[in-house]
Amino acid sequence: MTTNRRDFLTGAITAAGAAVTPNLSHGQQHEHDHEHQVVPSDPTLRVKALESLLVEKGLVDRAALDALIDTYEHKIGPRNGARVVARAWADPAYKERLLTNADTAIGELGYGGLQGEHMVVVENTSKVHNLVVCTLCSCYPWPVLGLPPVWYKSAPYRSRAVIDPRGVLREFGLALADDVELRVWDSTAELRYLVLPERPAGSENLSEEHLAALITRDSMIGVAKVEARPEGDRR
């Protein structure tokens, strides 16, 4: 039942055919000596072969694959979450709804659905800072933030966000004062978490649209604050 990398790559060779690996039979005879030389390390071939097989069997539709990719590359991403946060900053009644019934409030802006069916929004203040992680896998609120960045899915972040969250924040350039309460949210069930960052000083006169432009993905995960004037890289 368990699988390993060799299975993965053996499949890649076989499916891709002998043209890619002319020494295949030789490699099999001397597997222990040569497997690292004859095995292509590129998963491109394996995935291509798999997709072709599934299309040929009538199990997947290529146009549906294209639509899925387009959705998360171009339609759903952290700009959605930024609009939610900007609305909450601009409209106290909306903010109240967002913090008490996040699904309905987020739905008001037209967002919701897959991997964000049940949302919880947690508010950062001058006294409380929230940080979101999924230590077991990669749970993340897709409808408002899109697909997660690699670092969020990686072992360094997942391992340390719960045991040393202040160290993690320092690594992101955020030094949290000792008197601030830090709450870490480990997404272990089907609830998905969005941080409502603090509205920065100096943003009082900005329109909702301008506010949204300040709000970064990282601030909605809790690894950054929102700056009134964004500098350099905005993630």
Partner 1 sequence: MNGVHDVGGMHGMGPIRAEKDEPVFHAPWERRAYAVTRAMGAWRKWSLDASRYQRELILPADYFTMSYYERWIVGLVELMVKTGLVTRAEIESGTPDQGSPKQVPVLTADKVPILTAKGASAKRDVVAVASFHAGQRVRSRNINPVGHTRLPRYARGKVGTIHRDHGIFVFPDSNAMFLGEKPQHVYSVRFAARELWGEQAPAQDSVYLDMWDSYLEPA
How many positions of this chain bind partner 1 (CB under 8 A)? 91
52 is annotated as an active-site residue: no
Q: How far apart are CA 55 and CA 67, in angstroms?
A: 15
- When the beta carbons of 14 and 23 are compared against partner 1, the nearer one is 14
Following DSSP, what letter does each residue of 77-146 receive, concatenated? Answer: SHHHHHHHHHHHHH-HHHHHHHHH-HHHHHHHTT---TT-SSEEEEE--SSEEEEEE-SSS----HHHH-
Question: Which of 25, 137, 154, 207 is labelled catalytic?
Answer: 137
Question: Which of 25, 41, 52, 138 is labelled catalytic?
Answer: 138
> With binding defined as CB under 8 A, does residue 228 bind partner 1?
no
138 is annotated as an active-site residue: yes
DSSP bridge pairs for 182: 129
- When the beta carbons of 58 and 201 are compared against partner 1, the nearer one is 58
- When the beta carbons of 132 and 206 are compared against partner 1, the nearer one is 132
> With binding defined as CB under 8 A, does residue 177 bind partner 1?
no
Amino acid identity at 202: G
> With binding defined as CB under 8 A, does residue 215 bind partner 1?
no
> With binding defined as CB under 8 A, does residue 230 bind partner 1?
no
Cα angle 175, 80, 198; round to 5: 30
134 is annotated as an active-site residue: yes
> Contacting partner 1 (CB under 8 A), which of 14, 25, 104, 207?
14
Q: State the binding string over 107-136 for partner 1 (x if CB under 8 A, else -).
A: -----xxxxxxx-x------------x-xx
137 is annotated as an active-site residue: yes
Q: Are 144 and 80 in contact (CB under 8 A)?
A: yes
Say which residue the tokens 């903010």 belong to: 95
Q: State the binding string over 87-106 for partner 1 (x if CB under 8 A, else -).
A: --------------------
> Contacting partner 1 (CB under 8 A), which of 20, 24, 99, 172?
172
Residues catalogued as catalytic: 134, 137-139
